[in-house]
């Protein structure tokens, strides 16, 4: 939401925050199997994810906001992956890369989780075995689009009336003062 007139540029805080956030995603690379090699290609000089501001791979969950699960995940590993996800601070996003991460793929066996969405809230699935780095770049662009379209509660209020998920309760200012009370009768 940008507009310019007479040398001025006006926008909303939401648009600026989402724009900045979408262009500075810090991936947590979880190369669990062969898809991890394509993940390395995605970060390397040929495909150059730095063009999208996401070259800063972070191996600490405290500094990452985009988990990329690349490869099949065993039940044993799932606990570690979930713990890393829980340690990442909000807002955060998740890409499931490849057939194995998304569905278990060819590993139809007792030891492999049949899709990481059994224990993670996946935002984007990347098909293929293995998906090429371009496909992962496309997934990253989809995440960027999703972030740019995110609205704050304040914007929901302004544009749609009540926030859809709030049927009863209060919207409270940081000072503790009730801004608005919403009841089911609304
Ligand atoms: S999707 Fe293919 S390349 Fe990726 S982890 Fe599975 S078998 Fe390996």
Spatial CB neighbours of 148, under 8 Å, sequence gap ≥ 6? 15, 18, 19, 22
Mind listing the pLDDT tens digit for each residue in 27-40?
999 999 999 999 99
DSSP-derived 3-state class of residue 77: helix
Ligand 1 pocket by Cβ (under 6 Å): 33-35, 71-72, 98-100, 105, 129-130
Helix (H) or strand (E) holding 178, with range, is strand 178-182
Closest by Cα among 177, 97, 110 to 138: 97
Mind listing the pLDDT tens digit for each residue in 127-170?
999 999 999 999 999 999 999 888 765 665 666 555 545 556 66
Mind listing the pLDDT tens digit for each residue in 71-82?
999 999 999 999
Q: Which domains are assigned to the chain?
A: 12-148 (3.40.50.12280), 153-182 (no CATH)
Tell me the pTM.
Answer: 0.78
Give me ligand 1 centre to Cα 83, in Å. Answer: 23
Q: Whose CA is nearest to atom 5 of ligand 1?
A: 71
Q: Whose CA is nearest to atom 6 of ligand 1?
A: 100
Q: State the alpha helices, DSSP H only, in the chain.
A: 13-22, 35-43, 75-87, 98-103, 133-148, 153-160
Q: Whose CA is nearest to atom 7 of ligand 1?
A: 129
Mind listing the pLDDT tens digit for each residue in 58-102?
999 999 999 999 999 999 999 999 999 999 998 999 999 999 999
């Amino acid at each position: 939401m940008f507009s310019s007139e007479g040398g001025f540029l006006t926008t909303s805080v939401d648009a600026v925050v989402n724009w900045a956030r979408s262009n500075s995603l810090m991936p947590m690379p979880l190369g669990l199997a062969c898809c991890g090699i394509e993940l390395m290609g995605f970060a390397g000089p040929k495909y150059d994810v730095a063009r999208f501001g996401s070259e800063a791979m972070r191996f600490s969950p405290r500094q990452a906001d985009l988990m990329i699960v690349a490869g099949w995940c065993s039940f044993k590993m799932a606990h570690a992956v979930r713990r890393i996800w829980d340690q990442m601070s909000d807002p955060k996003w998740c890409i499931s890369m490849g057939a194995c991460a998304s569905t278990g793929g060819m590993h139809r066996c007792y030891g492999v989780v049949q899709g990481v969405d059994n224990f993670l809230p996946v935002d984007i699935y990347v098909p293929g075995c293995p998906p090429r780095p371009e496909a992962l770049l496309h997934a990253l662009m989809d995440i960027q689009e999703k972030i740019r379209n995110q609205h704050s509660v304040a914007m929901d209020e302004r544009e749609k009336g009540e926030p859809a998920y709030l049927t009863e309760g209060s919207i409270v200012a940081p000072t503790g003062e009730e801004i608005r009370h919403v009841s089911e009768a609304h």
